[in-house]
Amino acid sequence: MQFASCTRRDCLYGLGSSLGALAMTDLLAKEVKGPLAPKKPMHDPKAKAVIMLFMEGGPSQVDTFDPKPKLNAKHKSESKRSAGLATGFRFYVGSPFKSRKVGQSGLDMSEQWVHLPEVADELCNYRGCQAESLNHPEALFHMNTGSRLGADPALGSWINYGLGTENQNLPGYVVMSEMALPQGGSRNWSNGFLPAHFQGTRLRPTGSPILDLQAPGHKTRKHQRKALDELAFLNQRHALKHPGHDDLSARMESYELAYRMQAEVPEVMDLKDERPALREAYGMNDKHTATFGRQCLMARKLVEKGVRFVQIFSGGWDSHDYLERGHSSRIRSVDKPMSALIKDLKERGMLDQTLVVWTGEFGRTPDNNRRGGVYSLGRGHNIDAMTMLLAGGGVKKGTIVGATDDIGASATEVVHPIRDLHVTLLHLLGLDDNKLTYFHGGRYKQLSQFGGKVISDLIA
Amino acid sequence: MRSIISICLAFILAGELAASPNRHKQGERLFSLKVYPMLSSKCFACHGEDPKKVKGNLNLTSRVGLLKGGESEEPSLVPGKPMLSPLYLAATRAHEPDWSVMPPKENDRLSTEQVTTLKQWIELYAPWPEEEVRSKYITEDRSKLITVEGMLVKTSGGLSDNWTYRRYKPADLWAFLPVIKPNPPKSALDNPIDAFIIHKLSAANFHPAPQADFRTLVKRAYHDLIGLPPTPSQIYQFRLAWDKNPLKAWSKLIDELLSSPHYGERWGQHWLDVARYADTGGYSNDYERSNAWRYRDYVIRAFNEDKPYDEFLIEQIAGDEIWEKQPQDKRDPELLMATSFLRMGPWDPAMTLAPQARQIYIDDVVNSVGQSFLSTTMRCFKCHDHKFDPLPTRDYYRMYAVFAGTQLAERPAPFLKVENRSGLAQKKAMTQRLWNYAKTKHNELHQKQEAAARKWFNQRGKKYLDENARKKLPDEEKPPRHVGLSPEEQGRLKVRMQDEWIWNRRLERYQPLVQGVYNGPIPKSLNARSMRMPNNPGQKVLPASNILLGGSLEAPGEEVLPGVLSALAVAASNKAEDHYQISSEIKGRRLQLARWIADSKNPLTARSIVNRVWQHHFGKPLASNPNNFGAKGGKPTHPELLDWLAADFVEHGWKFKRLHRIIMSSATYRQSGNHPQMTKLKNVDPDNRLLSYRVPRRLTAEELRDSLLQTTGELNVTLGGLPVMPEINMKVALQPRMIQFSLAPAYQPSRTPTERNRRTIYAYRVRGQANPFLELFNQPNPNNSCEQRDSAAVTPQAFTLFNSQVTSDRSIAMALRVEKEFNTLHLQVKRAVQLAFGRVPDQAEWQRLKHYVTKMQQYHAKHQPEEVKYPKSITRSLVEELTGQPFEYEEILPAFEKYVPDKKPADVNANTRALADLCLLLFNSNEFIYVY
């Protein structure tokens, strides 16, 4: 008899329309299976989730967290440094910003950072990381996927592959960007060779957060439910004619999950219920900080709801010219929101288990070439030195780790390539890069490509 | 300390006394041949090779070191007692946390066989003979070609003797050994495929599934061969023939489909997946690769013409070298188009030093040629000799040397009559218009700036100098950069300049150029923006090629000459000193390589391609990694069948259409998806490796879109030509995305439905901006060669198929079609099901679906949809790096000025919308989206 091969789940599904949608979705929700089901970490994790604030373009280390008085003394004098592709006359560029020590711990921050000093003692400033690719998309791909080629799985995909996600009604890997997509676009959050379940889902800043999340306006939710029930009818009858093919039921389930997501995603996106003071703290009332502020607040909500990896791209850091203007404005746009995020996470007791990372794809040079025929006060791309912040999730607090030389040109202490940073992030989440592998193209592949080291200096 | 040493000595003595002379020799031999090389490759790097960095204070380079142990203060080795020897326990990776796993990296782990060897050696009291003794054992061993340990494979030689003389299990070498055509097992069935399949099935005590019904078969054949579903009347025609004579009807159907021009579109797509086709170059600029479409059409034509595969591959690797030898007036431009294969990888040398940019290109092309034609992942032996296969890094750099003089250029090649150039003038006019707009805007801003500059000079009583002329002046003697422009205007100026040359460059696609290659020295400047043939490429000798140790340009090793993979034992030349080396002339290297790949004796080539063809008929290849036939790739489930197919393919002139006929005329291909013993089979053979039944497959992204258009009657079946722009989600179309210095221009769909509704293979493919619908249904990322498509069901697929305007438009089109064809709801519902599923609904379905439409008629009478409007221009905003502030600018969208949109819900009445709801349901159903 044909019914014999109808699994419990398939039968339940078929009854969906008569049981009532709620009862059925509840039953399904409790039975978490599949590739995104939560998995046990490989060792005791320090962090459960990651919020990565990605400053696209490459923030300058010497103008943010790694001041270099010796560089300022050389301002506009000729630079004989040979670096990368630079040709022609080059000159040093001192920082237009003053720096000061902040917090109990005395971290360095340029004066442009107005709010961040309040949480300085939660931060770890890492100065030893080195990138490998001099141009944006390759460097972005490298920081996001461990490979410059733009075809491998992103960090967030690997983490979801290793740990699953705690809320099946939301994507496990969420990406937000300001207005424009970063160079290289969605390849930066691609699942690469991992199954498609692990790709990053972009929540759009305006309109429907996920493409086609909702039906067109004239179709109500009730209309949608009715259509799904009819679809279930067709699919169920069809499945009985084709027993033993699991793909068919997996596809049926994806429609029910879609239906649940339609309700849950807008709920997370809706920040109306957040306290006005909190909205203010995140900078949501000021046009300079509103977008990033909203995204930071959403990141907190998403992590609270069990999302594993949230990434926010903030563009415009590529200050080849007029760095003073460019970086001032960029710092202003993220300063207040990210400070609020760290405070908010801490107040809710979430910071311990949430790893916050602030980074770009590379750093900037201490010198510049003449651009447009003038002494242009900006900086080029630098793969030998950069600066990043880490907070929460098992990293050291109020600490500077690593160092750069006296003009900030190259990392000199605790020097590590990006792959070591990746291995460290995985480690903090309870994952071992050497074991988190996926067989593809004839070998077991891993995020670090060929293995890397945990940067133990970063770990509390 | 002393006591530890004496204990150790006691052990050594005990050990040596304990082993009988025979066993001692056995142990020595094992150590010399296997254990020492293993320790040396897996352990010494961290444990002794560098005396300054000895991890865990454990030195494994001598027996004394092993007996002493490390930080644990326990000996690592207890001779005779593996279970007490941490060396062994760590290697088993099963004694954590007492003994951390060693080597630490999963990729370096010892194989089960190596672990066993280690154990045996310890059981034999772990003798550690001196080097001289070890060499004796080694020399003795190397004189034998085959031993119980495996086979030696003669190659051009590895970086070490250990590698050169390592042994391989014959099973791991299956792909490297010559193809010998096996005789099919005796069988009641004529088709050799069935004989091989049934032979294995019977051995496992299973019968094959029965034949599928005629309807399933006709749908299967249409989808597999042309990527489109059959129309109801095509199904009907087939049924008539089938009822008379099933086998005759079947073979006639296959012939018809193979001669359809749509066959090339379907099978060309498979090849483009491997070749990584896209219309742009990727990375920071994502430049359009002007006229890449000519390669796409070349591939489609090659399949339609049934071009022999050996020719097809030679043309793609070395078409230009053949072209050059043709008489001037008879040169075939197709040969230049074919070489676009060598241009398909993502590549942009911006901000990259020239030697690195070249290395990135050559590595990519070597890997692509290896994967595509030889099912060999070349990357695996770029930095070192291959870890598992008989592929020395020397051979990698010999192939690398083949491409050392291959330079990239857009080459002139006259358009052919067969190439579809319709719409060229019209499209060129639009491009021109976009260029004019950018140019005008640019000029306005530039004039404003120069007016301010003029004023600046005037005020100082100096003579005005234009931007170029004043460039060299010191800063104090000229107006500031961007004088007279607000920060917003500065941003706009940059965007307009960028747009100006983006469109200028896009005008290039209307010239008869192809993405080609030529032989010559490396040009002075590499810029993907414009690459032209030099007037005289020069006949200079190329710089010598070297093995790059660790893959690094900074570590050149031994010099190498151009050559091929030596392990295959197929000569590439008659060079006396080495058959695997080819000419070192600047010209002709690629042709020699290509001919070697196409050599009928090359064991990889034919296996590689027949495996791919099989995969697209059965959803799964015979050898599970079509891009990697090495030891780590999946072994073939039916090796003899694969060899039979390969040999037969070559014997009969490398013809695809013949191969399709053989496969499709087999009973195996015609099997049903239902098997009477399914439950048992699911346990015994969950992956259906025995091929006992048919596994349904989800439509690929392209098939899905094409099937939708076919079903609604909207498909325009014109072949070839300039890329078309289907409508995509408007948010994605207008989504700003960064390219170097600027934003990429918005995506504008083609103006009319006829232009838009072409087959998906003709859709413009931008690396930096995937079509969201196709991407969701697993259209592969063209940055990587795709050996097999993913078909995972993920939630966003449900969103796009259920809610998007793209599918909504199709459902309205289908409803209108059905209404036009039939008057009553009763017949309309039937027709809709028939068009979508290729069958009429049964009574229960019919009633229920009719009832649903009736309900929806009532619903839609009360719910009025909004009108959909398309913008003629948009305001875009961007965070300008000059200021760190957002700024806005206007972009025109001429495509929407005389746009002919598809019919939208607001354009039709409630009854049509209700019927469209039904159509949408059908499009979302499994029956529509799977092929059985």
pLDDT tens per residue across span B585-612: 999 999 999 999 999 999 999 999 999 9
B382 inside domain? yes
- What is the rounded (10 degree) CA torsion for B351, B356, B357, B361? -150
Structural domain count of chain B:
5
Among B267, B300, B191, smallest CA distance to B613 is for: B267
Residue in A closest to B904 by C-alpha:
A216
Greatest alpha-carbon span in chain A: 88
A269 inside domain? no
- What distance in Å separates residue B835's CA from the closest CA in chain A? 16
* pLDDT attached to residue A6: 35
**Contact A150/B674, CB-based, under 8 Å?**
no
How far is the C-alpha of A151 from the C-alpha of A141, rounded, in Å? 8
Q: Is the pLDDT of residue B8 over 60?
A: no
Residue in B closest to A184 by C-alpha:
B768
Residue in A closest to B849 by C-alpha:
A230
How far is the C-alpha of A142 from the C-alpha of B53, rounded, in Å? 29
Q: Choose among B791, B804, B882: nearest Cβ to A321.
A: B882
**Contact A243/B630, CB-based, under 8 Å?**
no
The answer to whether residues B705 and B685 belong to one domain is: no
A37 inside domain? no
A33 inside domain? no
**Contact B879/A179, CB-based, under 8 Å?**
yes
B721 inside domain? yes
For residue A206, give the CATH number of its domain.
3.40.720.10
What's the domain range around B91? 2-143
Could you read off the pLDDT of B651-661 as tens digits, one per residue?
999 999 999 99
Pairing relation of β-strands A49-55 and A309-314? parallel
* pLDDT attached to residue B548: 95
**Contact A442/B380, CB-based, under 8 Å?**
yes
Residue B262's pLDDT band (boundaries 50, 70, 90)? very high
The answer to whether residues B638 and B786 belong to one domain is: no
* pLDDT attached to residue A250: 82
Scan residues 194-233 of A and list those with Cβ closer than 8 Å to B.
Answer: 195-197, 199, 201, 204, 207-208, 210-220, 223-224, 226-227, 230-231, 233
A370 in B contact zone (CB under 8 Å): no
Q: How many CB pairs under 8 A join A and B?
A: 292
* pLDDT attached to residue A31: 55
How far is the C-alpha of B907 from the C-alpha of B910, rounded, in Å? 10
Scan residues 282-341 of A and list those with Cβ closer than 8 Å to B.
Answer: 315-322, 325-330, 333
The answer to whether residues B532 and B478 belong to one domain is: no
Q: Choose among B738, B783, B848: nearest Cβ to A183.
A: B738
B397 inside domain? yes
- Phi, psi (degrees; rounded to nearest 5) at A109: -145, 140
Q: Is the pLDDT of residue A20 over 80?
A: no
**Contact B920/A227, CB-based, under 8 Å?**
yes
A248 inside domain? no
Residue-by-residue DSSP string for A366-390 = SEEE-BTTB------EESS---EEE
Testing the interface with A: which of B882, B912, B918 to mutate, by most A Cβ within 10 A?
B882
B168 inside domain? no
B649 inside domain? yes
A7 in B contact zone (CB under 8 Å): no
Among B271, B259, B251, B273, smallest CA distance to B226 is for: B259
- What distance in Å separates residue B867's CA from the closest CA in chain A? 11
Could you read off the pLDDT of B145-180 as tens digits, one per residue?
999 889 999 999 999 988 999 999 999 999 999 999
A240 inside domain? no
Residue in A closest to B857 by C-alpha:
A223
Q: What sign has the CA pseudo-torsion A204, A210, A211, A215? A: negative
The helix-helix angle for B603-618 and B309-325 (nearest 10°) equals 130
Residue in A closest to B910 by C-alpha:
A218
- What distance in Å separates residue A345's CA from the closest CA in chain B? 28
**Contact A247/B930, CB-based, under 8 Å?**
yes
**Contact A443/B632, CB-based, under 8 Å?**
yes
Residues of B within 8 A of A137 (CB-CB) are 282-284
B331 inside domain? yes
Could you read off the pLDDT of B447-481 as tens digits, one per residue?
999 999 999 999 999 999 999 899 888 888 999 98
- What distance in Å separates residue A124's CA from the closest CA in chain B? 26
Could you read off the pLDDT of A247-302 as tens digits, one per residue?
888 888 889 889 999 999 998 888 888 999 999 999 999 999 999 999 999 999 99
Q: Choose among A185, A201, A317: nearest Cβ to B768.
A: A185
Residue A28's pLDDT band (boundaries 50, 70, 90)? very low
Q: Is the pLDDT of residue B739 over 90?
A: no
Could you read off the pLDDT of B385-428 as tens digits, one per residue?
999 999 999 999 999 999 999 999 999 999 999 999 998 888 89
* pLDDT attached to residue A249: 84
Could you read off the pLDDT of A165-175 as tens digits, one per residue?
999 889 999 99
Find which of A16-30, B1-15, B596-610 is predicted with most confidence, using mean pLDDT.
B596-610
A232 inside domain? no
* pLDDT attached to residue A83: 60
Picking from B468, B501, B534, the residue at the C-terminal end of a domain is: B501
Q: Choose among A207, A210, A217: nearest Cβ to B796.
A: A210
* pLDDT attached to residue A23: 36
Residue in A closest to B864 by C-alpha:
A218
Could you read off the pLDDT of B659-703 as tens digits, one per residue?
999 999 999 999 999 999 998 998 899 889 999 999 999 999 999
A353 inside domain? yes
B875: three-class secondary structure by DSSP:
strand
* pLDDT attached to residue B723: 95
Residue A392's pLDDT band (boundaries 50, 70, 90)? very high
Residue in B closest to A323 by C-alpha:
B882
The answer to whether residues B659 and B705 belong to one domain is: no
**Contact B739/A183, CB-based, under 8 Å?**
yes
Picking from B695, B723, B755, the residue at the C-terminal end of a domain is: B695
Could you read off the pLDDT of B894-921 as tens digits, one per residue?
999 999 999 999 999 999 999 999 999 9
* pLDDT attached to residue B663: 98
Q: Is the pLDDT of residue A27 over 80?
A: no
The answer to whether residues B519 and B373 belong to one domain is: yes
B103 inside domain? yes
- What distance in Å separates residue A349's CA from the closest CA in chain B? 32
Could you read off the pLDDT of A75-111 as tens digits, one per residue?
999 998 876 566 678 899 999 999 999 999 999 999 9
Residues of A within 8 A of B482 (CB-CB) are 372
Residue B1's pLDDT band (boundaries 50, 70, 90)? very low
B281 inside domain? no
Q: Is the pLDDT of residue A447 over 50?
A: yes
Picking from B501, B535, B557, the residue at the C-terminal end of a domain is: B501
Scan residues 135-174 of A and list those with Cβ closer than 8 Å to B.
Answer: 135-138, 149-151, 171
Q: Choose among A56, A248, A441: nearest Cβ to B627.
A: A441
A365-379, A427-441, B183-197, B825-839: least confidently modelled range: A365-379
Contacts of residue B306, Cβ cutoff 8 Å, sequence gap at least 6: B655, B656, B657
The answer to whether residues B567 and B452 belong to one domain is: no
A308: three-class secondary structure by DSSP:
coil
**Contact B803/A136, CB-based, under 8 Å?**
no
A278 in B contact zone (CB under 8 Å): no
Residue in B closest to A181 by C-alpha:
B737
The answer to whether residues B621 and B588 belong to one domain is: no
- Phi, psi (degrees; rounded to nearest 5) at A299: -60, -45
Q: What sign has the CA pseudo-torsion A293, A295, A299, A304? A: positive
Residues of B within 8 A of A261 (CB-CB) are 795
**Contact A134/B475, CB-based, under 8 Å?**
no
**Contact B230/B219 with Cβ under 8 angstroms?**
yes
Testing the interface with B: which of A211, A224, A454 to mutate, by most B Cβ within 10 A?
A211
A439 inside domain? yes
The answer to whether residues B780 and B863 belong to one domain is: yes
* pLDDT attached to residue A4: 33
Residues of B within 8 A of A215 (CB-CB) are 802-803
Structural domain count of chain A:
1
Q: Is the pLDDT of residue A315 over 70?
A: yes
* pLDDT attached to residue A441: 72
Testing the interface with A: which of B42, B46, B102, B105 to mutate, by most A Cβ within 10 A?
B105
Residue in A closest to B635 by C-alpha:
A442
What's the domain range around A382? 47-221+283-458
Q: Choose among A35, A241, A329: nearest Cβ to B883.
A: A329
**Contact A403/A433 with Cβ under 8 angstroms?**
no
The answer to whether residues B575 and B479 belong to one domain is: no
